[in-house]
């Protein structure tokens, strides 16, 4: 089965984290997630994160501090390996280019949202940091 390596950012500001809602065209439409996406060939996870956050949120010069955890989820025809990194600073105003919505929530509040399944263990790991 195909393994897809994906990276996501747990962006932190004033004790809150950012979650974004996937758009109707995507798989997991309407689910909330940490922004990110597939790691391309010859990219490190952090390079992929830099590219994805610029593409999805229009921000750059991100400051990545810690690796949080990796979760593995089996989908019908592929396995998603999703790794999360903590991002504590960036430049630019957030503008959504792929998602329909975003919000800043406390980690506890995030649990009230319909999160993508692979993101839930990452949130729990973040809460332990
Ligand atoms: O964002 P993109 O579609 O490139 O991500 C690839 C796959 O990784 C998605 O189809 C989704 O299943 C999964 N994903 C996820 N949680 C994230 C980001 C992506 O489950 N935070």
What pLDDT sits at residue 123?
A: 98
CA 100 to ligand 1 centroid distance, Å? 15
Assess contact for 45 and 128: CB atoms under 8 A.
Answer: no
User: From CA 96, how far away is CA 35, in angstroms rounded?
Assistant: 10
Output b/e per residue, 30-39; b: 16+ Cβ within 10 A: ebbbbbbbeb
pLDDT at 102: 98
**Over the chain, what is the mean pLDDT?**
97
Ligand 1 mutation pick, 4, 6, 78, max ligand atoms within 8 A of CB? 6
Position 56 scores a pLDDT of 98
pLDDT tens profile 22-80: 998 888 999 999 999 999 999 999 999 999 999 999 999 999 999 999 999 999 899 99
Say whether the ipTM exceeds 0.90.
yes
Quote the CA–CA distance of 33 and 118 in Å, as a whole number. Answer: 9
Q: How far apart are CA 67 and CA 32, in angstroms?
A: 21
Ligand 1 pocket mutation pick from 80, 122, 126 by most atoms within 8 angstroms of CB: 80
pLDDT of residue 26: 84
Please state, in angstroms and rounded to a whole number, the distance separating the CA atoms of residues 109 and 77.
Answer: 32
Q: What percent of the chain has pLDDT over 90?
A: 95
Q: How many CB atoms lie within 10 A of CB 64?
A: 18
What's the confidence (pLDDT) of residue 25? 86
CATH number where 77 lies: 3.90.79.10
Place of tokens 């998602």: 99
Cβ of 97 below 6 Å from ligand 1 = no
Q: What is the greatest pairwise CA distance in the chain?
A: 41
* 84 CA to centre of ligand 1 in angstroms: 12
The total of structural domains in the chain comes to 1
Residue 21 belongs to domain spanning? 2-127
């Amino acid at each position: 089965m195909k393994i897809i390596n994906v990276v996501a950012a747990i962006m932190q500001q004033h004790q809150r984290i950012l979650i974004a809602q996937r758009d109707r065209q995507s798989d997991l439409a309407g689910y909330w997630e940490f922004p990110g996406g597939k790691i391309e060939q010859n990219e490190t996870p952090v390079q992929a994160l830099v590219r994805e956050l610029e593409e999805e949120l229009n921000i750059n010069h991100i400051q990545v501090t810690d690796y949080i955890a990796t979760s593995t989820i089996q989908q019908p025809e592929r396995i998603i390996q999703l790794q999360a990194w903590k991002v504590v600073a960036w430049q630019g105003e957030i503008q959504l280019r792929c998602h329909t919505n975003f919000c800043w929530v406390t980690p506890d509040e995030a649990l009230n949202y319909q999160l993508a399944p692979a993101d839930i263990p990452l949130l729990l790991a973040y809460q332990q940091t």
